[in-house]
Amino acid sequence: MTNLFDLSGKRALVTGAAGGIGLAICRGFAAHGCHVACLDLAAPLAQSATDAVGRYNVDAIPVVCDVSQPEQIRQAAESTIDQFGHLDILVNLAGRGILKPTTEVSLPEWESVINVFLRSTFLFCQAVGRHMISRATGSIINISSVASLVAMGRGVAPYSAAKAGVNALTRELAVEWAEKGVRVNAIAPCHILTAPLQDQLDDPATDAGQLMASWTGKIPLGRLGKPEEITGPAIFLASDASSLITGHVLAADGGYTAQ
C-alpha cells in the first residue's frame, strides 16, 4: 500500500514553484522520487526552487515564464517536455490577485487577474494535455481556492471568479480526457499563511489581530493552514493512490466549506 504514493521516476511541472505552497509541493514531490521542473516569473525565483528540490537527489530544472503571456507559456511547456523527455504531472499554481473593492476594480485589473489565474491554467492544461493524451497517461492538479466555493465578501471578486472558472475547467477537462488516460483534479485551500497573507498582516494600516480573527473565525479548525498541508493532497492526486479520482475539487480548508 505504501507504493501507492510513490512518484519515483515521474516528471512534474509546477508553476509558481518558488512561492510558499509551490515550494512545499515541489519538495514533497521530490521527497517521493519525482523529478521537478520549477517554473516561476523570474530566474532567481525559479533557480531558488530548483536548488531546494535538487537536495532530494532528483533531477530539477528551472523554468522562467510570465504566465500572463501566452507565448511564454507555450515555450515553457515545450522546453520542459524537451528537457525532461515527457511530463507525468502538471500543477497549475502561479498567480497573485488583488485586494480591492469591486466598485474600484478597473477593467485592466480584472483582465489581469483572470488572465493570470484562469487563462494561464487553460493554456498550460492545453499544451501539456496534448502531450499527456499522446502518451495516454497523466495527472493535472489545478490549485483553486475556497473563494471559488463560498463568497469572501471582501474585495476578491476577480480572484473568486477566476478560481470558480478553474473549477469548471477542471471538471470539463476531466470528463473530456478521462477516456484518454489523463486525470484532472483541483485543490481548494483555505487561507494559507504565505508571504502575501503575511504582507497583509504586516501592513501598518491593518489591525492584524482583527484580520487574523476574521480569517480563523470561519475555519472550524481555528487556524490558518500551512503550505506543507497542501503537499499531501497534491501527492495524493499526483500518485496512483488517486487512480479512480478525476474531476474532483478537494477542499483542504480546515472545515471552512462544511459549514
Asked if pLDDT for residue 2 goes beyond 80, the answer is no
Asked if pLDDT for residue 71 goes beyond 90, the answer is yes
Whether residue 117 is found in the same domain as residue 215: no
Task: Report pLDDT digits (tens) over 219-246.
Answer: 999 999 999 999 999 999 999 999 999 9
Q: Are 115 and 165 in contact (CB under 8 A)?
A: no
Find the domain containing 213 and state its range.
193-224
Whether residue 153 is found in the same domain as residue 207: no
**239 domain-assigned:** yes
Across the range 187-191, mean pLDDT stands at 96
Residue 12 CA to residue 63 CA, distance in Å, equals 12
Whether residue 217 is found in the same domain as residue 235: no
Asked if pLDDT for residue 90 goes beyond 80, the answer is yes
- Catalytic annotation present for 256: no
The pLDDT assigned to 103 comes to: 96
Asked if pLDDT for residue 1 goes beyond 80, the answer is no
**259 domain-assigned:** no
**237 domain-assigned:** yes
Whether residue 217 is found in the same domain as residue 118: no
Least confident of 67-81, 138-152, 200-214: 200-214
Asked if pLDDT for residue 211 goes beyond 90, the answer is no
Whether residue 53 is found in the same domain as residue 90: yes
Q: Are 190 and 166 in contact (CB under 8 A)?
A: no
Q: Please, is 4 exposed, middle or buried when counting C-beta atoms within 10 Å of its C-beta (0-12, 13-18, 19+)? A: exposed
Whether residue 147 is found in the same domain as residue 209: no
**258 domain-assigned:** no
- Of these residues, 56, 159, 177, 256, which one is catalytic? 159
Least confident of 136-145, 214-223, 242-251: 214-223
Q: Are 12 and 238 in contact (CB under 8 A)?
A: yes
Whether residue 123 is found in the same domain as residue 153: yes
**96 domain-assigned:** yes
Percent of the chain surpassing pLDDT 70:
99
Q: Are 138 and 89 in contact (CB under 8 A)?
A: yes
Whether residue 72 is found in the same domain as residue 97: yes
Q: Which three cell numbers stand for residue 175?
A: 470528463
Q: Which three cell numbers stand for residue 136?
A: 495516454
Higher-scoring residue by pLDDT: 110, 202: 110
Whether residue 148 is found in the same domain as residue 208: no
Number of domains present in the structure of the chain: 2
**24 domain-assigned:** yes
| CATH number reported for the structural domain that contains residue 150 in this entry | 3.40.50.720
Residue 42 CA to residue 110 CA, distance in Å, equals 23
**98 domain-assigned:** yes
Whether residue 24 is found in the same domain as residue 148: yes
* Closest alpha carbon to 92 in 133, 136, 145: 145
Whether residue 130 is found in the same domain as residue 242: yes
Residue 200: other Cβ atoms inside 10 A: 14
Residue 111: other Cβ atoms inside 10 A: 13
Whether residue 96 is found in the same domain as residue 202: no
Task: Report pLDDT digits (tens) over 33-63.
Answer: 999 999 999 999 999 999 999 899 999 999 9
**89 domain-assigned:** yes
